[in-house]
Chains A and B, each alone.
Chain A
């Protein structure tokens, strides 16, 4: 596709349920990032993939959060046993090169997650 695609665009679920968020990066982009943005707040880093491996998982807030990337393309972010504080917009970005180059990150429009 022409840009980074995220699905679903909105997700409402009950506390305690598991959710899976999907990110389709721009074709050929090797780097993929997940961020979380709470209402009126800045972006909070979650995890970074280079190819299929995740050299930096330092931002995952708890062991309820996990992410994987297969085939160097699609990535899924899974949140188990959701809590109300997980409510936020989850943004995915991809890049064609390591970020010490001058290549920008391309962001999707996010998944708006609401935990009831």
Chain B
């Protein structure tokens, strides 16, 4: 069964600190992995998209890494800001669109709180 597991479920850090969120998946064959940021009361916004051939991708203070061999990804946030408080969702896509949901499997997200 295709699954995406995210950890931790929630995280509280002080403003200015760095943090790393984890995503482990069993989706196979793998096409791409996406990280989304969802602010409270808003829809998710895409941060990064990586294919199996990409090891890292950055978007400002956000850096995603991918190890397709171990089926693990991480999202590193540098010098956190209060506006980083949100849920971060990992989404993995199958190589083929079959299998329901157009081949997308969503993680349940990590709820990040940045304290001043």
Identify the A interface with B (CB < 8 A).
Answer: 4, 31, 33, 41-43, 45, 48, 55-56, 58-59, 91, 93, 98-100, 102, 104-110
Contacts and interface: CB of A to CB of B under 8 A. Distances in A.
Given A42-B89, A100-B95, A102-B32, A48 B102 contact: yes
Contact of B42 (A98, A102, A109): A109
A25 B77 CA distance: 30
Contacts of A104: 34, 46, 49
17 contacts: A42-B109, A45-B101, A55-B97, A56-B102, A93-B43, A98-B102, A99-B93, A99-B102, A100-B32, A100-B95, A100-B97, A102-B32, A102-B49, A102-B51, A107-B43, A108-B43, A109-B43
Contacts of B41: 109
A2 to B, nearest CB: 13
B100 interface: yes
A43 to B, nearest CB: 5
Given A99-B97, A99-B104, A105 B46 contact: yes
B57 to A, nearest CB: 10
Nearest to A43: B106
A43 B102 CA distance: 14
Interface residues of B, number: 25
Interface in B101-115: 101-104, 106-109
B97 A91 contact: no
Contacts of B109: 42
**Nearest 9 CB-CB pairings of A with B:** A107-B43, A104-B46, A45-B101, A42-B108, A58-B100, A48-B102, A43-B106, A109-B43, A107-B44
Contacts of B89: 42-43
B106 A42 contact: yes
A90 B31 CA distance: 26
B82 interface: no
A99 B24 CA distance: 20
A107 to B, nearest CB: 3
